[in-house]
């Protein structure tokens, strides 16, 4: 028996349309499976980059200092660093200028810095005394230990003295880090330059950048070439630790993705198996009417190709939505659409559907049509 | 009669039904395995994050303001008291002793070498420190910083004149691992000839220092058993609202809140307890490490929670499609039992009963599989065995049953739509 193409198309169309309910269930299951696979592959691909941004909670991981022959840096070093790094990989740069000043007759270390970079470069700083108002834009920040030892409270006006120069400012918040900062005073960079009489100078640049250790080392070399007289290096102990943590997170997500994909795959296969086994009477009838096994495989594969591709495309869209939802909850960022998933997901959907159809088909076509139609199986 | 017919109907063809039950079990098992993994990974990652270094520092309480700038101490004469070395034992005797993973004392002296003045830091590298109930506790710089990159080897504590040299000092003095390094110790009549065992590069302050066994630095400082500071690495819980409140105004907490805070391993609570047992010191959380750790641990826990939630709903949906297919394929027997008088309610209960059984089997299989997968991950990633928590079993089984029932609630309503006369007539 040979089909004309139009007969084949009609058979296929009828076969899909006559069983709307079951086709819908099959389509829904495969769509679900495809969307989960699409979402988790996206998550796995993204998790490294997204977690590495989260790990920037550790703050600055890149240091630029004056080279051997220089006393200080200039704004050029900062410009050079900015120009060498794409904006999305630079979390923040803090330029610092240090000197020793007198406050109420006691000497302490004062630092000039950009207050608006604190959140980006040293996000772990604990500020208090400003009623949780965030990082102040003006005034001075005083280390918590220094404040206690000097008897200064937030809101007090203090006078920083260096040689004959004086700078009055209100203490807008206290700083606590557990490190040297607890005994220092911080003022806006411009005011510090004037107080220290060191216009245009920078002692130290701290940057928080995203990227693997090798990239940071490459950046350091490039910067040293671009701006001669500077010495740049990543804070290795942080970068290396981050690398180790990232690797473990990625491995755990990998295991989770494999498990989820496997379980989706298996439950999908089983559902499809059950669906095709139900059609054993139909298969037996087709066989009794003279369809060859090959012809029937072709028919089923064509059916599966249609539902699989449809489910794959739907699943791709749903998976993108799911990935977006997951990453919004986790990292508060959107995902970028991965074009290479476009052929991949429908292909996987067709593959699962084909496996789910051909295995039971084989089992059914082995049976004798007469027995099936009589109702013995 | 009906009960007997039903029983016979549902026991016939039991192989296929067992297959279906096992399939549901498989789905829930995988989800359960993931759940198990989630519960364990948070703890493991928390331990792992300790590799970033100490999160607490003990310093003497003093009125002096430190004046260190660019490696130069502008106030060198101010002796800032010290932390009594013999009291460190108490770190392993406080309530949170098991959370104290490592600690090391530091004693810093400026000495002169052939290439200029250098900072010599006396510390412990890897020292057996017998404490209450744990004879094998080892601690020191190495346990504090397991991920430091050392070229050559770590020095041995027993060899007093050995050193671990920071990379920048090593470059300045032109020494490498294996070289000798002569330094002039103030107040000593002879030069010390240190054996450089290793060079460490951290990209931070350590690169400018030379680490030596504590005894050598004590020889310079002269006895009294005081050290400049002690670094402590403790396992902590991420800060929550209570911990933040306690940090800013502990006085405003109620007695009950204070108790909860005191008895939780927040970094500030551990610092507070250490201050209580060691007089004259200030214990400060190193925010760079302790804060960031909280952020990262919370993020990883959230990641695992989301993954598990998706896995559970996935297996619920898997149950859904399986159940739909199963009911469709058993239409005939459903119609038959209905025809002889079984109520919809009874049939639905029977199907849900089957699914409950599948959930229980799935939960148990999943627990075992989950523990297995957990151990695999633990050994591969964290080089330690995961703690098996039998207390989780009821939770896991309940969750598996919930997934299995949740997935079948909608398909089971298909039973209502089975019209006995139509189905039995073969339409």
User: Could you read off the pLDDT tens digit of each residue along chain B, which spans 427 residues?
Assistant: 666 766 665 566 666 666 666 666 676 677 667 777 777 777 788 888 888 899 999 999 887 777 777 666 766 656 567 899 989 989 998 888 889 999 999 998 888 888 788 899 999 999 998 887 777 889 999 999 998 989 999 999 889 889 999 999 999 999 999 999 998 887 777 788 899 999 999 988 899 999 999 998 888 887 678 898 999 999 998 888 898 888 888 888 899 999 999 988 999 999 999 999 998 899 999 999 988 888 888 888 888 888 878 877 877 877 787 777 777 777 777 888 888 888 888 888 888 888 888 888 888 887 887 778 778 877 877 777 777 777 778 887 888 888 888 888 888 888 888 888 887 776 5
What number is the ipTM of this complex? 0.80
Contact B377 A123 (CB under 8 A): no
Residues 6+ apart with CB under 8 A from A236: A213, B149, B201, B202, B203, B204
Write the residue in A57, A107, A252 that is nearest to B292 by C-beta: A57
Q: Would an 8 Å CB–CB cutoff place A274 in contact with chain B?
A: yes
Phi, psi of B93 (to 5 degrees): -125, -10
Q: Would an 8 Å CB–CB cutoff place A271 in contact with chain B?
A: yes
CA distance A5 to chain B (A): 30
Phi, psi of A185 (to 5 degrees): -125, 140
- Along the 377 residues of chain A, how does pLDDT read in single tens digits? 455 677 777 877 777 777 777 778 778 888 888 888 888 888 888 888 888 888 888 999 999 999 888 889 988 999 999 999 998 889 999 999 999 999 998 899 999 999 999 999 999 999 988 776 778 888 899 999 999 999 999 989 999 999 889 999 999 999 999 988 999 999 999 999 999 999 989 999 999 999 888 899 999 999 999 988 899 999 998 888 888 888 888 888 888 888 777 777 777 777 777 777 777 777 888 888 888 888 888 888 888 888 889 999 999 999 999 999 888 888 888 888 888 888 888 998 888 888 878 887 787 777 777 777 776 55
Which of A203, A234, A265 lies at the terminal end of a domain, its last residue?
A: A234
Angle (CA) B356 B362 B364, round 5° = 110
B-contacting residues in A 231-250 (Cβ below 8 Å):
233-241, 244-245, 248-249
CA pair distance B405, A324, nearest whole angstrom: 28
Cα–Cα nearest to B306, from A317, A327, A261 = A327
For A219, the domain range is 61-234
For A259, which residue in chain B has the nearest alpha carbon?
Answer: B30
Number of domains in chain A: 2
Whether A164 is covered by a domain: the verdict is: yes
Residues of chain A neighbouring B315 (CB-CB closer than 8 A)? 263, 267
Q: Give A252-303 as a DSSP string.
A: HHHHHHHHHHHHHHHHHHHHHHHHHHTTHHHHHHHHHTT--HHHHHHHHHHH
Residues 6+ apart with CB under 8 A from A265: A33, A352
Residues of chain A neighbouring B23 (CB-CB closer than 8 A)? 266-267, 270
- Look at the block and give the residue holding tokens 């200039």: A74
Can you tell me whether residue B129 is helix, strand or coil? Answer: coil
Same domain, yes or no: A66 and A202: yes
Q: Would you call B336 exposed, middle or buried from its count of C-beta atoms within 10 A (0-12, 13-18, 19+)?
A: middle
Q: Would an 8 Å CB–CB cutoff place B311 in contact with chain A?
A: yes
Yes or no: say if B194 and B202 are a contact pair by the CB < 8 Å rule.
no
Residues of chain B neighbouring A107 (CB-CB closer than 8 A)? 65, 67, 74-75
Residues 6+ apart with CB under 8 A from B348: B412, B413, B415
Interface test with B, best of A241, A246, A307, A311 (most B CBs within 10 A): A241
CA pair distance A299, B314, nearest whole angstrom: 30
Same domain, yes or no: A132 and A32: no
Residues of chain A neighbouring B20 (CB-CB closer than 8 A)? 274
Write the residue in A149, A274, A331 that is nearest to B326 by C-beta: A274
Please count the CA atoms within 13 angstroms of the CA of A131 that sit on its side-chain side. Answer: 1
Yes or no: say if B316 and A29 are a contact pair by the CB < 8 Å rule.
no
Q: Would an 8 Å CB–CB cutoff place B380 in contact with chain A?
A: yes
Can you tell me whether residue A183 is helix, strand or coil? Answer: helix
User: Terminus-to-terminus CA distance in chain A, angstroms?
Assistant: 26
- Look at the block and give the residue holding tokens 């346990």: B143
Whether A311 is covered by a domain: the verdict is: yes
CA distance B133 to chain A (A): 31
**CA trace torsion B104, B107, B111, B115 (10° rounding):** 30
CA pair distance A323, A303, nearest whole angstrom: 29
Q: Would an 8 Å CB–CB cutoff place B136 in contact with chain A?
A: no
For B205, which residue in chain A has the nearest alpha carbon?
Answer: A235
Which of A164, A199, A234 lies at the terminal end of a domain, its last residue?
A: A234
For A34, which residue in chain B has the nearest alpha carbon?
Answer: B314
Write the residue in B56, B204, B304 that is nearest to A237 by C-beta: B204
Phi, psi of B131 (to 5 degrees): -130, 170
Give B146-199 pLDDT, tens digit per residue: 989 899 999 998 898 899 999 999 999 999 999 999 988 877 777 888 999 999
Residues 6+ apart with CB under 8 A from B353: none
For B62, which residue in chain A has the nearest alpha carbon?
Answer: A149
Q: Would you call B423 exposed, middle or buried from its count of C-beta atoms within 10 A (0-12, 13-18, 19+)?
A: middle
**Bridge partners, A162 (sequence order):** A165
Same domain, yes or no: A354 and A257: yes
B-contacting residues in A 109-128 (Cβ below 8 Å):
109, 122-126, 128
Whether A257 is covered by a domain: the verdict is: yes
Q: Would an 8 Å CB–CB cutoff place B295 in contact with chain A?
A: yes
Interface test with A, best of B29, B54, B145, B203 (most A CBs within 10 A): B203
Whether the CA torsion A130, A133, A135, A138 is positive or negative: it is: negative
Same domain, yes or no: A366 and A264: yes
CA pair distance B272, B266, nearest whole angstrom: 10
Tokens representing A19? 């069983």
B-contacting residues in A 312-341 (Cβ below 8 Å):
322, 326, 329-331
Contact B26 A263 (CB under 8 A): yes
Same domain, yes or no: A13 and A73: no
Whether A358 is covered by a domain: the verdict is: yes
Whether A240 is covered by a domain: the verdict is: no
CB atoms under 10 Å from CB of B182, counted, come to: 11
H helix intervals, A18-161: 20-54, 75-84, 118-121, 144-150
Tokens representing B200? 């460490």
- Look at the block and give the residue holding tokens 């740069």: A93
Residues of chain A neighbouring B307 (CB-CB closer than 8 A)? 43, 253, 256, 260
CA pair distance B99, B373, nearest whole angstrom: 26
Contact B53 A203 (CB under 8 A): no
What are the residue boundaries of the structural domains of chain B, listed by start?
2-46+294-424, 55-285
**CA trace torsion A279, A281, A282, A285 (10° rounding):** 160
Whether A71 is covered by a domain: the verdict is: yes
Give A300-358 pLDDT, tens digit per residue: 888 888 888 999 999 999 999 999 988 888 888 888 888 888 888 899 888 888 887 88
Q: Would an 8 Å CB–CB cutoff place A178 in contact with chain B?
A: yes
Whether A48 is covered by a domain: the verdict is: yes
Please count the CA atoms within 13 angstroms of the CA of A374 that sit on its side-chain side. Answer: 6
CA distance B312 to chain A (A): 9
Contact B67 A109 (CB under 8 A): yes
CB atoms under 10 Å from CB of B343, counted, come to: 11
Same domain, yes or no: A249 and A207: no
Yes or no: say if A44 and A253 are a contact pair by the CB < 8 Å rule.
yes
Whether A333 is covered by a domain: the verdict is: yes
| Long-range pairs of A151-159 with CB within 8 A, sequence gap ≥ 24 | A152/A103, A152/A104, A153/A129, A154/A128, A154/A129, A154/A130, A155/A129, A158/A103, A158/A104, A158/A185, A159/A103, A159/A104
CB atoms under 10 Å from CB of A54, counted, come to: 20
């Amino acid at each position: 028996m040979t089909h004309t193409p139009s007969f084949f198309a009609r058979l296929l169309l009828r076969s899909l349309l006559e069983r709307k309910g079951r086709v819908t269930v099959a389509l829904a299951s495969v769509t679900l499976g495809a969307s989960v696979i699409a979402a988790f592959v996206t998550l796995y691909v993204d998790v490294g980059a997204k977690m590495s941004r989260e790990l920037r909670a550790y703050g600055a991981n890149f240091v630029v200092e004056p080279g051997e022959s220089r006393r200080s840096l200039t704004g050029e070093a900062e410009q050079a660093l900015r120009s060498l790094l794409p904006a999305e990989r630079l979390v923040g740069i803090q330029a610092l200028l240090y000197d020793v000043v007198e406050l109420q007759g006691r000497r302490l270390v004062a630092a000039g810095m950009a207050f608006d970079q604190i959140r980006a470069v040293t996000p772990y700083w604990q500020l208090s005394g400003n009623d949780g108002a965030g990082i102040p834009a003006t005034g001075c920040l005083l280390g918590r230990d220094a404040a206690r030892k000097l008897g200064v409270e937030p809101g007090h006006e203090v006078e920083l003295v260096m040689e004959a120069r004086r700078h009055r400012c209100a203490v807008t918040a206290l700083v606590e880090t557990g490190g040297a900062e607890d005994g220092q005073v911080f003022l806006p960079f411009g005011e510090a330059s004037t107080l220290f009489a060191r216009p245009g100078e920078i002692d130290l640049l701290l940057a928080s950048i995203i990227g693997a250790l090798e990239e940071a080392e490459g950046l350091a070399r490039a910067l040293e070439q671009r701006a001669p007289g500077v010495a740049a290096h990543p804070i290795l102990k942080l970068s290396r630790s981050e690398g180790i943590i990232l690797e473990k997170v990625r491995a755990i997500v990998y295991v989770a993705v494999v498990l989820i994909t496997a379980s989706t795959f298996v439950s999908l296969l089983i559902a499809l198996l059950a669906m095709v086994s139900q059609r054993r009477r139909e298969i037996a009838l087709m066989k009794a009417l003279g369809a060859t096994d090959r012809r029937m495989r072709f028919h089923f594969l064509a059916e599966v190709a249609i539902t699989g591709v449809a489910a794959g495309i739907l699943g791709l869209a749903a998976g993108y939505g799911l990935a977006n939802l997951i990453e919004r909850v986790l990292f508060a960022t959107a995902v970028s659409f991965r074009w290479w998933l476009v052929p991949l997901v429908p292909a996987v959907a067709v593959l699962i559907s084909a496996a789910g159809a051909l295995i039971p088909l084989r089992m059914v076509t082995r049976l004798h049509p007469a027995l099936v139609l009589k109702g013995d199986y | 009669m009906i009960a007997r017919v039903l029983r016979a109907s549902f026991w016939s063809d039991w192989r296929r039904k067992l297959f279906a039950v096992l399939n549901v079990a498989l789905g829930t098992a995988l989800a359960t395995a993931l759940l198990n993994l989630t519960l364990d990974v948070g703890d493991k990652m928390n331990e792992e994050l300790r590799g970033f270094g100490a999160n607490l520092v003990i310093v003497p309480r003093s009125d002096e303001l430190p004046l260190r700038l660019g490696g130069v101490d502008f106030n060198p004469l101010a002796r800032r008291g010290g932390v009594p070395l013999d009291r460190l034992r108490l770190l392993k005797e406080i309530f949170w002793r098991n959370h104290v993973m490592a600690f090391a004392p530091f004693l810093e002296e400026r000495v002169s070498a052939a290439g200029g003045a250098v900072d010599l830091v006396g510390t412990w590298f890897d020292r057996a420190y017998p404490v209450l109930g744990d004879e094998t506790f080892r601690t020191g710089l190495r346990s504090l910083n397991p991920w430091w990159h050392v070229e050559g080897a770590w020095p041995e504590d027993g060899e007093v004149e050995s050193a671990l040299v920071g990379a920048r000092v090593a470059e300045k003095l032109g020494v490498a691992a294996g070289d000798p390094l002569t330094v002039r110790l103030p107040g000593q009549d002879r030069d010390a000839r240190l054996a450089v065992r290793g060079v460490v590069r951290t990209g931070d302050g350590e690169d400018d220092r030379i680490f030596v066994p504590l005894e050598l630095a004590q020889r310079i400082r002269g006895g009294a058993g005081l050290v400049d500071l002690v670094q402590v690495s403790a396992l902590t819980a991420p800060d929550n609202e209570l911990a933040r409140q306690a940090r800013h105004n502990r006085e405003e907490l109620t007695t009950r809140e204070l108790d909860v805070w005191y008895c939780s391993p927040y970094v500030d609570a551990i610092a507070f307890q250490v201050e209580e047992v060691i007089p004259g010191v200030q214990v400060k959380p190193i925010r760079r490490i302790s804060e960031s750790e909280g952020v990262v641990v919370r993020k990883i826990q959230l990641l695992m929670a989301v993954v598990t939630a998706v896995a559970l709903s996935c297996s619920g949906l898997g149950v859904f499609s399986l159940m739909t297919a199963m009911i469709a394929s058993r239409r005939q027997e459903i119609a038959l039992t209905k025809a002889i008088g079984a109520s919809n309610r009874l049939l639905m209960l029977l199907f849900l009963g089957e699914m409950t059984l599948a959930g229980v089997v799935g939960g148990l299989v999943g627990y075992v599989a989950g523990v297995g997968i957990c151990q695999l991950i633990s050994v591969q990633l964290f080089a330690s065995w995961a703690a098996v928590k039998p207390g989780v079993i009821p939770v896991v089984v309940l969750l598996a049953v919930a997934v299995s029932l949740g997935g079948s609630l909608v398909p089971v309503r298909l039973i209502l739509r089975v019209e006995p006369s139509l189905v039995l007539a073969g339409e």
